[in-house]
């Protein structure tokens, strides 16, 4: 019988600490195995069925030493690993990398779904002009902490003084008066948002957002109010010690959901 089994959507990210620049990589893996597993279907014999959870764990385990910008090399390492398993005849590994562009020593922008937005409304007497940006994905590999928060019997989140901080910035702002060149002003706002995210360390995503808002209001006097939506896009540490490996704390599991949903407005 023709069959296959595998694991898809395995997202992994990794920091390579450097002086002065960190490197950051993110990829999504799709693993497919083929082999002699007819007994699993016909007799319930799983002796040759590599668990898909094992496939997932293998991606994280091997990423610690093998994941770099050379995706082909990492994919080959995974193929060779699974091909050595009993009952496995064919292996296919597909990897898709997420592009991150460097900003400074520990900062990156990515996503490439960025949009400029605007909204103009009038009641016939006055006109309200808003500018905006969405999909500005920013990430930094350090200079962010989170501690001193309230804890109860359901709190499992550990305090940290150094973590990955990532978000997809959605911001809208009100002009009063409207600048003569809104395109140049929008570019200045974007630069100020990036500077506010990367130039200063932060104690939370809220703290980082305040710094971003402050940079914008300082740079553009025509903006009277700016509102943010900052989802906290988590890269969770993946503990490799249960797999019998030294955990160098450089391998992470990116997750889309659930996510922190941070919203606020700063008025001049």
Q: Which residues does the annotation mark as catalytic?
A: 7, 52, 234
Residue closest to 107 by CA, chosen among 161, 164, 68 = 164
Using left for φ > 0, alpha for ψ between -120 and 50, and beta otherwise, residue 182 falls in: alpha
Per DSSP, the residues of 196-241 read: HHHSS-BSSHHHHHHHHHHHHHHH-TTEEEEEEEEEE--EEE---G
Q: What is the Cα–Cα distance from 13 to 27, expressed in whole angstroms? A: 6
Answer positive or negative: Cα dihedral of 189, 191, 196, 197.
positive
Q: What is the Cα–Cα distance from 43 to 39, expressed in whole angstroms? A: 5
Q: Which residues contact 35 (CB under 8 A, 6 or more apart)?
A: 48, 87, 88, 89, 90
């Amino acid at each position: 019988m023709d069959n296959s089994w595998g694991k898809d959507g395995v997202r992994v990210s990794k920091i390579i600490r450097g002086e002065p620049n960190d490197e950051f990589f993110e990829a999504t893996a799709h693993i497919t195995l083929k082999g002699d597993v007819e007994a699993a279907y016909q007799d319930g014999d799983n002796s040759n069925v590599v668990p898909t959870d094992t496939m997932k764990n293998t991606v994280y385990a091997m990423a610690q030493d093998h994941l770099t910008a050379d995706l082909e090399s990492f994919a080959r390492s995974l193929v060779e690993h699974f091909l050595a398993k009993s009952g496995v005849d064919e292996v296919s590994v597909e990897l898709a990398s997420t592009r991150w562009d460097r900003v400074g020593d520990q900062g990156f922008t990515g996503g490439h779904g960025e949009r400029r937005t605007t909204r103009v409304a009038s009641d016939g007497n006055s006109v309200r002009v808003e500018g905006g940006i969405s999909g500005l994905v920013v990430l930094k590999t350090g200079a962010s902490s989170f501690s001193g928060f309230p804890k109860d019997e359901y709190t499992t989140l550990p305090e940290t003084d150094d973590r990955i901080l990532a978000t997809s910035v959605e911001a809208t702002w009100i002009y009063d008066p409207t600048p003569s060149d809104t395109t140049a002003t929008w570019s200045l706002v974007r630069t100020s948002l990036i500077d506010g995210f990367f130039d200063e360390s932060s104690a939370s995503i809220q703290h980082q957002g305040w710094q971003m808002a402050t940079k914008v209001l300082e740079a553009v006097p025509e903006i009277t109010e700016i509102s943010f939506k900052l989802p906290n896009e988590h890269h969770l540490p993946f503990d490799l010690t249960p797999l019998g490996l030294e955990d160098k704390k450089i391998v992470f599991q990116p997750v889309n959901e659930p996510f922190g949903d941070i919203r606020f407005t700063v008025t001049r």
